[in-house]
């Protein structure tokens, strides 16, 4: 039933009108076409709960389900009559008037790599995915940055605080893909925040632009460029061509030397009370940094929301196969609740929320059945995502899961539909066509916007 | 002849001087670090907050002459009350950012006739309740930001009465938030510890069906043990090996029996779950 709905939607899109007349002669005409609608949101912050956040223990509690499905936690009322969240999101429950919750999103991919790929790109994964393949679809973050001008000499897209790995393998889906390496969102390590009852294990093996350089060293421009040259030089045996190298050099220099991003990155410049509001953990400080980057003119930022630092895959991510309830209650939900609530509070009180789209994404949901290790397993059959700010009408739920939280109950929708909604909020035509590096035309999104405005 | 020429010149020049060339204005604004966007070819969005923070009151003269401006962002710039006088004629203005500037009550008085205003951001400016009085006539105002200003509860209530559809965003009290965040975290309450029931020859109690809960098992016996669930009929169902020193989170139900046996299946003892999540420590067994 569910798949049938999805196919129908896609078939409709592939037919006729939507595809007609969109072969645009050049980048510029495409851009102006795609931006014809007045943008509602000017910046976007993507909050990603890597590992797969349980819909039951967040935005879609099932208090009336049988006890072996509903789990240990109770629902609590939110600021919106009729909408309930999990009891361990008490702060976020007060922000429900800002949130549009989608409870009927689903896909078919039960692996982290595939689930993350479709969630972040909006497209089904091809076989044999590897992270840096240029045939991959660009991430949402990269795609938005393709359409937004960076107005202040900042990078167009930044992601933090580390790359996604599963079992030591770098994941595909959060890069620029066929848009080219120029659109790979720049990785930033969050410069502050304790792991929350977790361990810090930065094991990122990628080019990281040396953002943790000490301050006196970054004031030495020449020294910095030499350092970058030597870092990049070590990679010269790979496919880095000169213009990409130059792009990174320029970006690194811009970011580190006196640009607004450099200032934004310095969290010591923030009011300590504001820092405390976000929470002294990597998630909180990452979201604070997201706000500061958006404020400095960066069009799109992606932050992984987790308790600690999960590079390597075994850390504090949302993949709760064992001890689901204690881990959610003691580690993951309190951090998420505080950090995300602080971000929404802060964007609102600074008058930034109506121009900033906040996107909640995850790999998939968790299984209805609680396994024998007290965990919930991967469940792409239905789960919850959300939007806030950026012209989105808050205080609403779109779609529903069935009574067991196993399948969509009404208004089934796909990651592509959710992406189309995001593009609409950003003033990007979701039917826009771009050309990959071989000149092949590709339509950026196969979904249709959900009525969340 | 001279007089006629002069008149001729005046008739040509004067209107031009009265309505400045928009392109020249835009050039001047850009020179000051401003950025100008247009969504429909006429309406202008003028921003200084990213690249024009050095803007001062003098720079607002040209800004005030670009009458098609609908959005103006002056965040973090060096403008003051006096400069806002230049904005009086921006009748199309819908959105105005004055946050994080030195603007105070006197400056806001210059905005009292900007009836198109829908959004006014004054957070972290110098305003007090007096500024709010100047805004009471702006019937189209929908959002007003006054976080970190001298505005009080009373002032907000008064303006709210005059403009019932206005959302006044006061933001959080950071001192309170910080104090709350600094409170020592409540440690999770220690789990109830279940009693170890050594095997004494009496029959094992059968499990009852009950409500879901979690059992945290710790093997302190010093050797590997086997975990069995005693089912509703009294039969044994193997669940797992627990290595010496290891722990295990076991989902179960209220009123369930969990049997511990050694590697040779000698029954050592059991736990009986109660109404709450609990801890079960498998003790050293002396034979």
CATH code for position A49: 3.40.720
B155 confidence band (pLDDT: 50, 70, 90): very high
For residues B127 and B105, give the distance between their C-alpha atoms in angstroms, rounded to a whole number.
5
Q: Which residue has the tokens 């007609």?
A: A20
Tally of residues, chain B: 287
Cβ-defined contact of A271 to B174 (cutoff 8 Å): yes
**Residue pair A156/A252 in contact by the 8 Å Cβ criterion:** no
B116 confidence band (pLDDT: 50, 70, 90): very high
Residue A112 has pLDDT above 50, yes or no: yes
Listed in order, strand segments (DSSP E) in A232-355 are 300-304
Task: Say whether both B197 and B153 belong to one domain.
Answer: no
**Residue A202 forms part of a structural domain:** no
Structure tokens at B256: 């369930």
**Residue B5 forms part of a structural domain:** no
A256 confidence band (pLDDT: 50, 70, 90): low
Residue of A nearest to B119 (CA): A351
Residue A227 has pLDDT above 90, yes or no: no
**Residue pair B198/B173 in contact by the 8 Å Cβ criterion:** no
Q: Which domain holds residue A428?
A: 2-142+159-178+302-443
Q: How many domains is chain B built from?
A: 2
Residue among A70, A74, A80 nearest A100 (CA): A80
Q: What is the pLDDT of residues B46-96, one digit of tens each?
A: 999 988 899 999 999 999 999 999 999 999 999 999 999 999 999 999 999
Residue A240 has pLDDT above 60, yes or no: no
Q: How far is the alpha carbon of A98 from chain B, nearest alpha carbon, in Å?
A: 14
User: Tell me, what's the ipTM?
Assistant: 0.80
Note the pLDDT of residue A379. 98
For residues B126 and A62, give the distance between their C-alpha atoms in angstroms, rounded to a whole number.
49
**Residue A34 forms part of a structural domain:** yes
Task: Say whether both B56 and B139 belong to one domain.
Answer: yes
Question: Which residues of A sit within 8 Å Cβ distance of B?
Answer: 38-39, 67-68, 70-72, 151-152, 260, 271-274, 276-277, 279-280, 296-297, 322-323, 325-326, 329-330, 338, 345, 348-351, 354, 370-374
Q: What is the pLDDT of residues A139-196, one digit of tens each?
A: 999 999 999 877 667 788 999 887 887 776 788 999 999 998 888 888 877 777 765 4
Q: How far is the alpha carbon of B49 from chain A, nearest alpha carbon, in Å?
A: 9
Task: Say whether both B234 and B100 belong to one domain.
Answer: no
Q: What is the pLDDT of residues A377-407, one digit of tens each?
A: 999 999 999 999 999 999 999 999 999 999 9
Residues of A in contact with B53 (CB under 8 A): none
Residue A209 has pLDDT above 70, yes or no: no
DSSP conformation letters of A379-442: ETTSEEEEEEETT---SEEESEE-TTSSSEEES-B-HHHHHHHHHHHTT--TT-EEE-TT--EE
Phi-psi region of B222 (alpha: psi -120 to 50; beta: other; left: phi over 0): left
Task: Say whether both B265 and B125 belong to one domain.
Answer: no
A322 confidence band (pLDDT: 50, 70, 90): confident
Note the pLDDT of residue B190. 72
Note the pLDDT of residue A357. 98
What is the Rg, in whole angstroms, of the alpha carbon atoms belonging to chain B? Answer: 38
Cβ-defined contact of B50 to A274 (cutoff 8 Å): no
Task: Say whether both B145 and B48 belong to one domain.
Answer: yes
Residue A37 has pLDDT above 50, yes or no: no
Residues of A in contact with B47 (CB under 8 A): 151
- Dihedral pair phi/psi, residue B197, rounded to 5°: -105, 105
Span A210-230, average pLDDT: 49
Structure tokens at B139: 């019937």
**Residue pair B257/B239 in contact by the 8 Å Cβ criterion:** no
The better pLDDT of the pair A249, A173 is held by A173
**Residue B185 forms part of a structural domain:** no
For residues A34 and B231, give the distance between their C-alpha atoms in angstroms, rounded to a whole number.
63
Task: Say whether both B104 and B235 belong to one domain.
Answer: no
Task: Say whether both B215 and B164 belong to one domain.
Answer: no
Burial (0-12, 13-18, 19+ Cβ within 10 Å), A3? exposed
B247 confidence band (pLDDT: 50, 70, 90): confident
Note the pLDDT of residue A169. 78
Question: What CATH number should be reported for the domain holding residue B278?
Answer: 2.60.40.780
Span A309-336, average pLDDT: 78
**Residue pair B115/B138 in contact by the 8 Å Cβ criterion:** yes
**Residue pair A71/A77 in contact by the 8 Å Cβ criterion:** no
Residue A205 has pLDDT above 90, yes or no: no
Task: Say whether both B126 and B252 belong to one domain.
Answer: no
**Residue pair A359/A309 in contact by the 8 Å Cβ criterion:** no
For residues B228 and B214, give the distance between their C-alpha atoms in angstroms, rounded to a whole number.
15
- Domain termination site, one of B117, B145, B175: B175
Q: How many domains is chain A built from?
A: 1
Return mean pLDDT, chain A: 80
Task: Say whether both B66 and B97 belong to one domain.
Answer: yes
For residues B261 and A148, give the distance between their C-alpha atoms in angstroms, rounded to a whole number.
64
Question: What CATH number should be reported for the domain holding residue B135?
Answer: 3.80.10.10
Q: How far is the alpha carbon of A277 from chain B, nearest alpha carbon, in Å?
A: 6
Range with the largest mean pLDDT of A3-7, A181-185, B193-197: B193-197
Cα within 13 Å of Cα(B257), Cβ side: 20
Note the pLDDT of residue A33. 38
The better pLDDT of the pair B181, B33 is held by B33
**Residue B15 forms part of a structural domain:** no
Cβ-defined contact of A152 to B97 (cutoff 8 Å): no
The better pLDDT of the pair A119, A191 is held by A119
**Residue B182 forms part of a structural domain:** no
Q: What is the pLDDT of residues A48-107, one digit of tens each?
A: 999 999 999 999 999 999 988 889 999 999 999 999 999 999 999 999 999 999 999 999
Q: Which domain holds residue B65?
A: 20-175
Q: How far is the alpha carbon of A197 from chain B, nearest alpha carbon, in Å?
A: 12
Residue of A nearest to B210 (CA): A67
The β-bridge partners of B219 are B282
Q: Which residue has the tokens 């900042």?
A: A154
Task: Say whether both B138 and B250 belong to one domain.
Answer: no
Note the pLDDT of residue A273. 95
The better pLDDT of the pair A309, B43 is held by B43
The better pLDDT of the pair B196, A11 is held by B196
């Amino acid at each position: 039933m569910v798949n049938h709905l999805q196919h129908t939607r896609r078939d409709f899109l592939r037919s006729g009108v939507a595809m007609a007349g969109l072969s645009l002669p050049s980048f510029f005409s495409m851009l102006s076409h795609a931006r014809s609608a007045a943008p509602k949101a000017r910046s976007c912050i993507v909050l990603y709960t890597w590992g797969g956040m349980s819909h039951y223990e967040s935005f879609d509690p099932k208090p009336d389900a049988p006890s072996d499905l509903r789990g240990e936690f109770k629902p609590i009322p939110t600021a919106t009559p009729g909408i309930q969240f999990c009891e361990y999101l008490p702060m976020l429950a007060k922000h429900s008037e800002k949130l549009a919750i989608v409870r009927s999103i689903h896909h078919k991919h039960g692996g982290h790599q595939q689930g993350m790929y479709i969630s972040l790109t909006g497209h089904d994964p091809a076989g044999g995915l590897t992270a840096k393949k240029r045939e991959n679809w660009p991430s949402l973050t990269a795609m938005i940055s393709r359409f937004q001008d960076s107005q202040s000499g900042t990078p167009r897209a930044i992601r933090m605080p580390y790359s996604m790995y599963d079992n030591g393998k770098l994941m595909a889906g959060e890069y620029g893909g066929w848009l080219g390496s120029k659109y790979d969102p720049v990785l930033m390590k969050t410069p502050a925040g304790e792991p929350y009852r977790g361990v810090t294990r930065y094991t990122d093996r990628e080019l990281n632009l040396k953002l943790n350089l000490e301050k006196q060293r970054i004031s030495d421009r020449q020294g910095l460029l030499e350092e970058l040259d030597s870092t990049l030089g070590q990679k010269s045996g790979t496919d880095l061509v000169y213009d990409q190298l130059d792009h990174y050099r320029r970006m690194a220099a811009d970011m580190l030397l006196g640009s607004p991003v450099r200032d934004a990155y310095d969290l010591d410049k923030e009011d300590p009370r504001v820092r405390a509001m976000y929470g002294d953990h990597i998630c909180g400080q990452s979201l604070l940094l997201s706000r500061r980057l958006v404020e400095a003119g960066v069009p799109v930022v992606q932050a992984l929301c987790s308790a600690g630092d999960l590079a390597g895959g075994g850390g504090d991510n949302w993949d709760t196969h064992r001890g689901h309830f204690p881990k959610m209650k003691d580690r993951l939900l309190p951090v998420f609740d505080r950090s995300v609530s602080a971000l929404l509070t802060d964007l609102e009180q600074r008058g930034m929320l109506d121009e900033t789209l906040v996107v909640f994404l995850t790999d998939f949901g968790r299984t209805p059945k609680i396994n024998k290790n007290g965990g919930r397993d991967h469940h792409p059959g239905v789960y919850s995502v959300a939007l806030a700010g950026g012209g989105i009408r808050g205080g609403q739920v779109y779609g529903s899961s069935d009574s067991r939280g196993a399948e969509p109950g009404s208004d089934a929708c796909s990651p592509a539909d959710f992406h189309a909604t995001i593009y609409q909020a950003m003033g990007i035509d979701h039917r826009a066509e771009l050309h990959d590096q071989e000149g092949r035309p590709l339509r950026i999104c196969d979904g249709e916007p959900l009525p969340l405005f | 002849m001279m007089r006629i020429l002069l008149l001729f010149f005046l008739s040509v020049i004067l209107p031009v001087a009265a309505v400045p060339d928009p392109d020249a204005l835009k050039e001047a604004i850009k020179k000051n670090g401003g950025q100008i966007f247009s969504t429909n070819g006429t309406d202008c969005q003028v921003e200084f907050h990213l690249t024009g923070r050095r803007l001062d009151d003098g720079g607002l003269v040209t800004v005030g002459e670009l009458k098609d401006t609908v959005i103006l962002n002056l965040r973090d710039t060096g403008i003051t009350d006096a400069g806002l006088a230049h904005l009086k004629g921006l009748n199309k203005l819908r959105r105005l950012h004055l946050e994080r500037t030195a603007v105070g009550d006197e400056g806001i008085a210059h905005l009292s006739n900007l009836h198109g205003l829908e959004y006014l951001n004054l957070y972290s400016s110098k305003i007090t309740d007096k500024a709010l009085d100047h805004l009471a006539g702006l019937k189209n105002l929908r959002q007003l930001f006054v976080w970190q200003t001298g505005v009080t509860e009373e002032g907000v209530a008064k303006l709210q009465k005059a403009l019932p559809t206005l959302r006044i965003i006061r933001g959080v009290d950071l001192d309170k938030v910080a104090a709350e965040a600094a409170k020592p975290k409540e440690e999770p309450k220690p789990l109830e510890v279940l009693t170890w029931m050594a095997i004494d020859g009496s029959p094992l109690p059968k499990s009852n069906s009950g409500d879901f809960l979690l059992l945290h098992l710790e093997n302190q016996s010093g050797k590997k043990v086997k975990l069995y669930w005693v089912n509703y009929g009294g039969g044994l169902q193997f669940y797992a090996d627990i290595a010496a020193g290891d722990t295990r989170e076991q989902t179960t139900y209220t009123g369930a029996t969990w049997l511990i046996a050694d590697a040779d299946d000698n029954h050592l003892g059991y736990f009986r779950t109660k109404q709450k999540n609990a801890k079960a420590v498998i003790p050293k067994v002396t034979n």
